[in-house]
A and B are shown apart, each in its own frame.
Chain A
Amino acid sequence: MRPRKAVFLDLFGLAGAVAASLVIGIIVIFCVSSEPLAAMNAFFVEPLTNAFNFGSILNRMVPLVFTGLAIAVVFQSGVFSMGAEGQLYIGALTGAVAAVYMKGLSAWMHIPLVLVCAILGGGLFAFLPGILKARFKADEIVSTLMFNYIGIFFVSYLLNNVIKDANSGGFARTPYVQDSARLHQIVQGFPTLYSFVFALAAAAVVYILLFKTRTGYELRLVGKNPLFAEYGGIHIRKAIVLSMVISGALAGLGGAMEVIGQQGALNDHFSTGLGFDGIIISLLARNHPIGILVSAFFYAYLTVGGQNMQAGSDVPRDLAVIIQSLLVLFVSSQALFAYLNSRKAVRKGGAEVAS
């Protein structure tokens, strides 16, 4: 009874925050646009009403869900990794190698193999900073930030010097992935790819992992109070490394999904900041896997809406981006939540005081 009420209050707060942020967005658009209605329509309405746009939002969610989940796992475990970006690249690399160079497999074999490779790649790449932190207390913020650069440059090096497709033209990419590894549209005529299904599944798996399994209990306790976890006999170092590896695997999967889904090949510098977006996504969802679906949708919606507004009105791209950042701020405003919730709470408490 009590938890349901809490959820209700949260939804109430969320609705309020979204409403407030929409108002801000609308005000800004009115200030700058000479065709505000068209701009707003393109930003807020069309992404939801136009099937193509809506399907694209779902596709756009995919890497965000994976990097968001990656961050959620480490943050829940009290590890402050900022390394999803680099792990995304390495997972995309190992996934792409499997997807491009393994031939003659059926899709049922090939796709799982690609995913396994991506998991191994991303996971191993995260293992390093994980072990540095667990064994030697090397700060993970520093190490993961550095590993991001190392990962991205390493992939770029291989792409330009070792695994470049001869036909890639001015920008290096691998050869296209085998058709047996490619994720196609779920329904013809609607752009959403099967990778979206994988994203949903990943969120469910991470939810179960974190909240329904022993491992999840261990990870979360280590995150909440390592002294308590240690006292309960939980191996803290193992938990830290494990959370890093799971996180890396998830980020790596996100990279591979891009390769065998949206993009069809591993492109040089294919992501600019998907890993960092994951941090925002996860924090917006308070590191909750199911919440991440919501916040990733919100973020993708803003991205697609922003593009659409730029294409469909006189609002320039940079302004769309500014509006996007303001919306993120408002939606994550705890004070707005707390204010709305506390009014309820105080009204409730206050009534009893009076009685």
Chain B
Amino acid sequence: MWEQIVNLSFFAVLLRLLPPILLGALGGLLTDRGGVINIGIEGLMLVSAFTSISVGSASGSWVAGVLAGMLASVLVSLLMAFFTLQMKVDVIVAGFAVNIFGGAATVLLMSILYHSHGQYMPADPVRIPNVVIPFIEDIPVLGQLLSGHNVMVWLSFLAVLFCYVLLNHTPYGFHLRAVGEEPSAARSLGIDVQRIQYSALIWGGVFSGLAGAYLSTGMTSMFVREMTAGTGFLALAVVIFGNKNPVGILFGSLLFALAQTLVNTVETTPDNKVPSQLIAMIPYIVTVAVLSVYAVRKASTRRRKAAAV
């Protein structure tokens, strides 16, 4: 394992595992800041994963695939928005319904379009390409650090920056946060609360869409039923874990990806005797541990501050 850390392949794996959770969490972040908890990330990611590989391979363009995936995810988000904002369905119920819907709708479409219930592997698939940076690529350490990563890896870093700027430096971001924090205040200033919340859910769709597209057209080039395998829920946890801000979420996602990289490393270690169920617990135990340590420290600084004065 140390060898892998030294030769930086560990780093490459980490970066490959990062985008789905990071993008999913950013989607969750923007909806959450608009005052709508998004339980439906999982379902949105599935819808986009299916659409992007499907459209991508049909059109032969990964860009078209990714855009279509985002669009599909946005459409389902709009459906969710309609039910929560217009029909006043409890937002959590709506989120779960989106997950159920996404899981079933993708399989249904797959069986109609490709006569398969389990997976769709296009004959000549398109892939979101890797970015090879000339010159830098050949520099020993730097090359491995910077070159050869998937476009989506860079895009997800950009997305962090984007969300940061959006939330903290644009009028829209202020409106969004105001709506999430004090909707009545926003409304009294002529901000259309409902419209902002619609848009928040759309953002959720956009980023969940990117995350889903990466699963099927970046990490692999296939769609498999339920291929998100709980990533959406992890993303939800990361939103809260990351303190509901883009930078915190970046670190939260890195932690998760790191734990997953660790799982993969242990799983592929020769003569590994640890039962795989215990290995699989690593990310979750790490998260609970970090959460606890963080909370305990915060609690004790609260106490210390109170005591010190």
Contact A145 B100 (CB under 8 A): no
In this assembly, does B268 line the interface, its C-beta being within 8 Å of a C-beta of chain A? no
B-binding segment of A36-44, A249-257, A320-328 = A320-328
Contact A329 B237 (CB under 8 A): no
Residues of B close to A139: CB separation below 8 A: 240-241, 291
Q: Which of B86, B288, B295 has most chain A Cβ within 10 Å?
A: B288
What is the bound-complex CA distance between A150 and B88, given in angstroms?
34
- Interface members, chain A 221-245 (any B CB < 8 Å): none
Annotate B226-243 by CB proximity to A: 1 below 8 A, 0 otherwise.
Answer: 000010011011001100
Contact A156 B277 (CB under 8 A): yes
Residues of A close to B298: CB separation below 8 A: 136-137
Interface size on B, residues (CB 8 A): 44
- Interface members, chain A 259-277 (any B CB < 8 Å): 276
A-binding segment of B46-54, B61-69, B103-111, B122-130 = B103-111
Residues of B close to A279: CB separation below 8 A: 92-93, 96
Q: What is the interface residue range for chain A against chain B?
A: 35 or more
Contact A142 B111 (CB under 8 A): no
What is the bound-complex CA distance between A321 and B94, given in angstroms?
15
What is the bound-complex CA distance between A157 and B288, given in angstroms?
19
Contact B288 A137 (CB under 8 A): no
Residues of A close to B89: CB separation below 8 A: 329, 332-334
Min CB–CB distance A143 → chain B (angstroms): 6
In this assembly, does A352 line the interface, its C-beta being within 8 Å of a C-beta of chain B? no
Contact A321 B103 (CB under 8 A): yes
What is the bound-complex CA distance between A145 and B277, given in angstroms?
17
What is the bound-complex CA distance between A308 and B292, given in angstroms?
46
Residues of B close to A143: CB separation below 8 A: 288, 291-292
In this complex, what residue of B is CB-closest to A158? B277
Contact B277 A322 (CB under 8 A): no
Contact B277 A132 (CB under 8 A): no
Binding site for A on B (CB under 8 A): 83, 86-90, 92-94, 96-98, 100-101, 103-105, 107-108, 111, 230, 233-234, 236-237, 240-241, 275, 277-278, 280-281, 283-285, 287-288, 291-292, 294-296, 298-299
5 cross-chain pairs, A with B, having the tightest CB-CB distances, nearest first: A334-B88, A157-B277, A136-B295, A138-B295, A321-B104
Can you spell out 23 A-B residue pairs with CB atoms less than 8 angstroms apart?
A: A138-B291, A138-B292, A139-B291, A141-B240, A143-B288, A145-B237, A146-B237, A149-B281, A149-B284, A153-B280, A156-B277, A157-B278, A283-B90, A318-B108, A321-B103, A324-B100, A325-B98, A328-B100, A330-B87, A332-B89, A332-B90, A335-B86, A335-B87
